[in-house]
């Protein structure tokens, strides 16, 4: 670790924390329907949307209606996105003339974006038209994030309401999230990003000459365009020369702003935020990293404010912090250590492991981004996780496997964390033989059943998916690195899909019917089967009476509870995933340092 | 039920128009107005012709030019239409082989070069388009470039120093040298 590296990380954390209270209390104002200053401009648009949808803020929904609206909304959007992807070839705003994408890839990409995962089996600049990026993918970045925030707000109402039958109006929560929070932040962020060099243009790609003509080996094809295979079974190549470079353009900045803020993570370009047009400078890097954790962190304060005790929100933020910092530290240390195989051939290890990293960011920013993007369910990358050291790459993987509750997705991270908080009060209640309660609501059998689903279903998706992939030919065929790392690639893929992260060990070839379908199913289960039980808990809690705290009530803002909750999250994660991690990154580390 | 279906369908249209059309068009309008250079790819124009982008690296293997990072993009290195990292694991033998052949190439171009090569010269970047190398990696190549071009080493070294981009605000990122702009400056020097 370097002094400058630690300074940059410290600066990031300080700036992030400075935004928690102002943004958090602003969001509470928005969700409570109070005037927030932006109403003057956006109020008419908000009311117009309600009129078009045929709803009013006073129209309250039961938890079943709320869940039904959320699911139906998803279903409509997945259908629309699938159709855009399939037919982009004949739709406008396609200057590169990309054809419609294959059915399995369209299914995967559509599911991936509606579930806030943004897993990408494709390269943006070589597959997707401007229209697809803009009206298909970027729209999902907004609404899937807004949906997560809406569900969180519904759950918070479950705590604040007493013997109520309803938990709010899905359409209103959704609209307010988009209009008052995501859109203004994205607009400011997008313009900032353009100032640093992120492209924002509808012109076709531009060709520029190379300063030095470069020779390379091109795969040989016959007259029909079929590859020519040599006697050794490998494709033959022929010498060729490259004279020019094609610079991709597009409406990138507008999409990158929301993919960071909405914890979506889907890159406009294949290399995501490692691409110089997606993340050109260290300042753009800092802004994009802040945007990853900004809303998830501030929502903790929103939660505290809405339940009438901001200490409750800070306590959860502290839990996230004490989980985040150790993982970041291990990742940074492991990446700074350098590759031992390089040290053996005389390379100075002090400069760290630079494979898959960009010079302008260096080791500290690459490690910090990796930890932030996987702690939150963002999944964008500014360095290739596949080329991280075994332990450096294991940290992002474990942060994903913890269930995306350390910050987590916008809304979804905090509702996941609240599920764990209910487990923590339940277990501590069992220890002392009292009925557990959280924020004045009794936590009973129904809530615990739903919480069990919330925690177990993503874990099942991850482990079952990895198991199937590692014993089927089509699963193993995608692996690109030998040894235990190959297993890590599959484990990472299903961890990412099942927990809706979206980052990858990118060497795994997943644009195949097997991976597109299996990962798509994992993403759907991982999102919907967490969201619906959470809405059910919201409904059940809202219907309960308020219990006044007594001398025996566990204070859920105190250090004891903070450490207990952090411990529960680690223990559940470790019990579930340690065996599989031993087969992947841990085995690879032991082999590399034997 | 019909009420919910109607709301879902209408929301589809409303949010697509708002966030998928109005928002990106607004950003494009502002961007093209205030930051037209950046919004269109930070293109370098010389004598009225486009010669590259300050943000996108180019491949070099001629000993008269500074070389950049390795690049794992498809077809040819620094193919800007197909950004990609190598995704090779630390434990993958191919990674070490690639590094060794790069070291051989560097030593072949300059047999007197030091044996310890800066790590960014033997590794591929995440995007495959990294425009930068570290100042150490530039210094490593100064002797070779100066010898090939018949320049004084101090002249080339001064050019490198002039092309170093320092940390933003003295804190953010890492010091670096833009390989394309450095090489363009070298060519210009040669023509004088």
For A225-260, the pLDDT digits (tens) are 777 887 777 778 889 999 999 999 999 999 999 999
> What confidence score (pLDDT) does residue A137 get?
94
For chain A, the first-to-last Cα distance in angstroms comes to 23
Give the residue-averaged pLDDT of B17-41.
Answer: 96
On whether the CB atoms of residues A535 and A70 are closer than 8 A, the answer is yes
Taking CB atoms and an 8 Å limit, are B171 and A8 in contact across chains? Answer: yes
Q: What is the pLDDT of residues A57-94, one digit of tens each?
A: 999 999 999 999 999 999 999 999 999 999 999 999 99
> What confidence score (pLDDT) does residue A435 get?
84
Q: How far, rounded to the nearest angstrom, does the alpha carbon of residue A456 sit from its chain's CA centroid? A: 19
Taking CB atoms and an 8 Å limit, are B119 and A338 in contact across chains? Answer: yes
Q: Please tell me the distance from the alpha carbon of residue A345 to that of residue A301, in angstroms, as a whole number.
A: 51
Helix locations, A161-218, DSSP H: 170-176, 183-196
> What confidence score (pLDDT) does residue A404 get?
92
List chain A residues with CB under 8 Å of B52: 208-211, 245
- Select the residue of B23, B49, B134 nearest A183 (Cβ to Cβ): B23
Choose the mutation target among A46, A142, A209, A247 for the interface with B, i.e. most B CBs under 10 Å: A247
Backbone φ and ψ of A208, nearest 5° = -130, 145
Give the residue-averaged pLDDT of A403-410.
Answer: 94
3-state secondary structure A400-457: HHCCCCCCCCCCHHHHHHHHHHHHHHHHHHHHHCCCCEECCEECCHHHHHHHHHHHHH
Q: Name the CA radius of gyration of chain B, rounded.
A: 22
**Does the structure show a pLDDT above 80 at A224?**
no
- Select the residue of B77, B115, B136 nearest A214 (Cβ to Cβ): B77
Give the residue-averaged pLDDT of A130-148.
Answer: 95
Q: What is the pLDDT of residues A143-193, one digit of tens each?
A: 999 999 999 999 999 999 999 999 999 999 999 999 999 999 999 999 999
Q: Please tell me the distance from the alpha carbon of residue A565 to that of residue A540, in angstroms, as a whole number.
A: 23
Backbone φ and ψ of A550, nearest 5° = -120, -175
Q: Please tell me the distance from the alpha carbon of residue A542 to that of residue A162, in angstroms, as a whole number.
A: 6
List chain B residues with CB under 8 Å of A246: 79-81
Give SS3 for A478. Answer: coil
- A176 → chain B, closest CA residue: B15
**Does the structure show a pLDDT above 80 at A565?**
yes
Give the residue-averaged pLDDT of A396-415.
Answer: 95
A positions 158-217 inside 8 Å of B (CB):
171, 174, 178-179, 183, 186-187, 190-191, 194-203, 205-206, 208-212, 214, 216
Give the domain ranges of chain A. Answer: 206-247, 411-592
On whether the CB atoms of residues A392 and A357 are closer than 8 A, the answer is no
Q: Please tell me the distance from the alpha carbon of residue A389 to that of residue A352, in angstroms, as a whole number.
A: 10
Q: Average pLDDT of chain A?
A: 94
Q: What is the pLDDT of residues A306-316, one digit of tens each?
A: 999 999 999 99
3-state secondary structure A535-561: HHHHHHHHCCCCCCCCCCCCCCCCHHH
Q: Please tell me the distance from the alpha carbon of residue A170 to that of residue A151, in angstroms, as a whole number.
A: 8
What's the ipTM? Answer: 0.96
- Select the residue of B57, B96, B174 nearest A345 (Cβ to Cβ): B96
Q: Please tell me the distance from the alpha carbon of residue A105 to that of residue A170, in angstroms, as a whole number.
A: 30
Backbone φ and ψ of B176, nearest 5° = -160, 165
B174 falls in which pLDDT band (50, 70, 90)? Answer: very high
A positions 301-320 inside 8 Å of B (CB):
none
CB atoms within 10 A of CB A494: 29
List chain A residues with CB under 8 Å of B58: 210-212, 245
Higher pLDDT: A258 or B74? It is A258
What are the percentages of helix, strand and coil residues in chain B, rounded to 5?
50, 10, 40
On whether the CB atoms of residues A259 and A253 are closer than 8 A, the answer is no
Q: Please tell me the distance from the alpha carbon of residue A151 to that of residue A539, in angstroms, as a whole number.
A: 11
On whether the CB atoms of residues B52 and A208 are closer than 8 A, the answer is yes
Q: What is the pLDDT of residues A422-473, one digit of tens each?
A: 999 999 988 888 889 999 999 999 999 999 999 999 999 999 999 999 999 9
- A347 → chain B, closest CA residue: B116
Q: Please tell me the distance from the alpha carbon of residue A244 to that of residue A384, in angstroms, as a whole number.
A: 26
Query: Measuring CA to CA, how many Å separate A513 from each of A99, A105, A121, A475, A564?
Result: 18, 8, 11, 10, 43
Cα atoms in the 13 Å half-sphere on the side-chain side of A74: 24
**Does the structure show a pLDDT above 90 at A561?**
yes
Q: What is the pLDDT of residues A504-550, one digit of tens each?
A: 999 999 999 999 999 999 999 999 999 999 999 999 999 999 999 88
Q: What is the pLDDT of residues A8-39, one digit of tens each?
A: 999 999 999 999 999 999 999 999 998 888 88
> What confidence score (pLDDT) does residue A35 get?
85
Taking CB atoms and an 8 Å limit, are A212 and B53 in contact across chains? Answer: no
Q: Which of A379, A376, A299 is nearest to A117 (CA)?
A: A379
B191 falls in which pLDDT band (50, 70, 90)? Answer: low
Q: Cβ contacts of residue A444 below 8 Å, gap of 6+?
A: A435
Q: Which of A114, A113, A118, A88 is nearest to A102 (CA)?
A: A88
List chain A residues with CB under 8 Å of B3: 54
Taking CB atoms and an 8 Å limit, are A276 and B85 in contact across chains? Answer: no
> What confidence score (pLDDT) does residue B192 get?
55
> What confidence score (pLDDT) does residue A549 get?
87
Q: Please tell me the distance from the alpha carbon of residue A393 to that of residue A507, in angstroms, as a whole number.
A: 13
Two tokens at A246? 């094609």
Q: How far is A490 from chain B (nearest CA, A)?
A: 14
- B50 → chain A, closest CA residue: A208
Q: How far is B111 from chain A (nearest CA, A)?
A: 16
Residue A519 contacts B where some CB pair is shorter than 8 Å: no
Q: Please tell me the distance from the alpha carbon of residue A96 to that of residue A89, in angstroms, as a whole number.
A: 10
> What confidence score (pLDDT) does residue A515 get?
96
Q: Which of A517, A511, A514 is nearest to A474 (CA)?
A: A514
Q: How far is B116 from chain A (nearest CA, A)?
A: 5
Give the domain ranges of chain B. Answer: 2-37, 42-191
Long-range contacts for A47-54 (Cβ within 8 Å, ≥24 apart)? Answer: A49/A175, A49/A179, A49/B11, A49/B14, A50/A171, A50/A172, A50/A175, A52/B10, A52/B14, A53/A171, A53/A175, A53/B6, A53/B7, A53/B10, A53/B11, A53/B14, A54/B3, A54/B6, A54/B7, A54/B10
Q: Please tell me the distance from the alpha carbon of residue A479 to that of residue A497, in angstroms, as a whole number.
A: 17
Backbone φ and ψ of B136, nearest 5° = -65, -40
Choose the mutation target among B19, B76, B94, B117 for the interface with A, i.e. most A CBs under 10 Å: B19
Q: Cβ contacts of residue A79 below 8 Å, gap of 6+?
A: none
Of chain A, the percentage scoring pLDDT greater than 90 comes to 90
Helix pair angle (A252-261, B23-34), 10° resolution: 120
Taking CB atoms and an 8 Å limit, are A282 and B20 in contact across chains? Answer: no
CB atoms within 10 A of CB A158: 27
List chain A residues with CB under 8 Å of B117: 346-347
CB atoms within 10 A of CB A126: 17
> What confidence score (pLDDT) does residue A11 get?
97
In chain A, what is the greatest distance between 2 CA atoms, to the nearest angstrom?
Answer: 84
Long-range contacts for B45-52 (Cβ within 8 Å, ≥24 apart)? Answer: B46/B184, B49/A209, B50/A206, B50/A208, B50/A209, B51/A208, B51/A209, B51/A211, B51/B184, B52/A208, B52/A209, B52/A210, B52/A211, B52/A245, B52/B180, B52/B184
Of chain B, the percentage scoring pLDDT greater than 70 comes to 99
> What confidence score (pLDDT) does residue A231 get?
77
Taking CB atoms and an 8 Å limit, are A275 and B127 in contact across chains? Answer: yes
CB pairs under 8 A between A and B: 379
- Select the residue of B12, B40, B167 nearest A282 (Cβ to Cβ): B167
Q: List the Cα angle A558/A406/A185 in 5-degree steps.
A: 110
């Amino acid at each position: 670790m370097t002094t400058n590296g630690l300074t940059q990380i410290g600066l990031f954390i300080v700036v992030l924390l400075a935004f928690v209270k102002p943004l958090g209390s602003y969001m509470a104002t928005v969700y409570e329907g109070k005037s927030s200053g932006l109403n003057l401009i956006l109020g008419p648009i908000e009311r117009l949307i309600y009129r078009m949808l045929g709803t009013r803020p006073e129209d309250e929904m039961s938890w079943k209606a709320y869940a039904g609206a959320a699911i139906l909304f998803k279903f409509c959007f997945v259908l629309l996105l699938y159709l855009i992807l399939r037919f982009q070839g004949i739709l406008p705003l396609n200057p590169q003339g990309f054809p419609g994408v294959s059915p399995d890839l369209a299914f995967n990409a559509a599911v991936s974006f509606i579930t806030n995962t943004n897993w990408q089996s494709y390269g943006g600049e070589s597959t997707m038209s401007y229209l697809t990026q803009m009206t298909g993918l970027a729209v999902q970045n907004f609404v899937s994030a807004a949906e997560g925030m809406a569900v969180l707000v519904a759950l918070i109402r479950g705590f604040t309401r007493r013997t109520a039958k309803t938990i709010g109006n899905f359409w209103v929560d959704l609209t307010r999230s988009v209009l008052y929070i995501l859109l203004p932040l994205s607009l400011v962020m997008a313009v900032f990003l353009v100032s640093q060099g992120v492209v924002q243009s509808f012109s076709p790609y531009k060709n520029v000459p190379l300063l030095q003509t470069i020779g390379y080996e091109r795969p040989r094809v016959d007259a029909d365009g079929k590859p020519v295979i040599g006697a050794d079974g490998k494709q033959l190549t022929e010498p060729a020369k490259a004279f020019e470079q094609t610079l991709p353009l597009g409406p990138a900045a507008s999409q990158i702003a929301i993919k960071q803020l909405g914890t979506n993570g889907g890159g406009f370009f294949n290399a995501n935020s490692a691409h110089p047009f997606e993340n050109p400078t260290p300042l753009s890097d800092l802004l994009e990293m802040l945007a990853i954790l900004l809303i998830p962190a501030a929502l903790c304060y929103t939660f505290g404010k809405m339940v009438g005790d901001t200490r409750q929100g800070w306590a959860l933020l502290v839990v996230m912090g004490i989980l985040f910092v150790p993982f970041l530290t291990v990742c940074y240390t492991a990446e700074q250590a350098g590759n031992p195989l390089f040290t053996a051939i005389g390379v100075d290890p002090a400069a760290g492991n630079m494979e898959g990293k960009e010079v302008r960011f260096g080791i500290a920013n690459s490690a910090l981004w990796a930890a932030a993007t996987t702690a939150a369910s963002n999944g964008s990358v500014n360095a290739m996780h596949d080329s991280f050291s075994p332990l450096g790459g294991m940290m992002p993987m474990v942060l994903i496997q913890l269930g995306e509750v350390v910050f987590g997705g916008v809304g979804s991270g905090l509702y996941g964390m609240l599920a764990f908080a209910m487990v923590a009060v339940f277990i501590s209640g069992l220890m002392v033989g009292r009925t557990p309660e959280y924020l004045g609501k009794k936590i009973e059998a129904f809530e615990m059943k739903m919480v069990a689903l919330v925690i177990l279903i993503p874990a099942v998706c991850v482990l079952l998916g990895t198991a199937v992939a590692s014993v089927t030919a089509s699963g193993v065929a995608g692996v690109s690195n030998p040894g235990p790392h190959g297993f890590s690639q599959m484990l990472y893929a299903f961890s990412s899909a099942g927990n809706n992260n979206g980052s990858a060990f990118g060497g795994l070839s997943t644009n195949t019917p097997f991976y597109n379908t299996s990962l798509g199913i994992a993403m759907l289960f991982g999102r919907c089967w967490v969201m619906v039980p959470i809405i059910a808990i919201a409904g059940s809690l809202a219907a309960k009476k308020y219990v006044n705290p007594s001398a025996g009530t566990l204070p859920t803002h105190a250090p004891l509870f903070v450490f207990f909750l952090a411990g529960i999250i680690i223990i559940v994660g470790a019990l579930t995933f340690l065996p599989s991690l031993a087969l992947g990154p841990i085995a690879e580390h032991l082999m590399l340092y034997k | 039920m019909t009420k919910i279906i109607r709301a879902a369908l209408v929301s589809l249209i409303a949010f697509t128009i708002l966030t998928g059309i109005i928002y990106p068009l607004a950003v494009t309008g502002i961007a093209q107005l205030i930051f037209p250079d950046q919004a269109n790819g930070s293109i370098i124009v010389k004598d009225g012709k486009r010669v590259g982008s300050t943000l996108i690296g180019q491949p070099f293997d001629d000993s008269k030019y500074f070389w950049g990072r390795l690049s794992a993009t498809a077809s040819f290195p620094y193919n800007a239409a197909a950004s990609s990292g190598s995704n090779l694991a630390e434990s993958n033998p191919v990674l070490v082989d690639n590094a060794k052949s790069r070291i051989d190439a560097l030593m072949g171009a300059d047999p007197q070069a030091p044996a310890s090569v800066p790590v960014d010269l033997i590794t591929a970047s995440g995007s495959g388009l990294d425009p930068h190398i570290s100042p150490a990696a530039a210094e490593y190549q100064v002797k070779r470039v100066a010898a090939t071009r018949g320049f004084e080493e101090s002249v080339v070294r001064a050019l490198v120093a002039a092309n170093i981009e320092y940390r933003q605000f003295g804190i953010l990122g890492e010091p670096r040298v833009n390989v394309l702009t450095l090489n363009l400056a070298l060519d210009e020097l040669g023509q004088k």
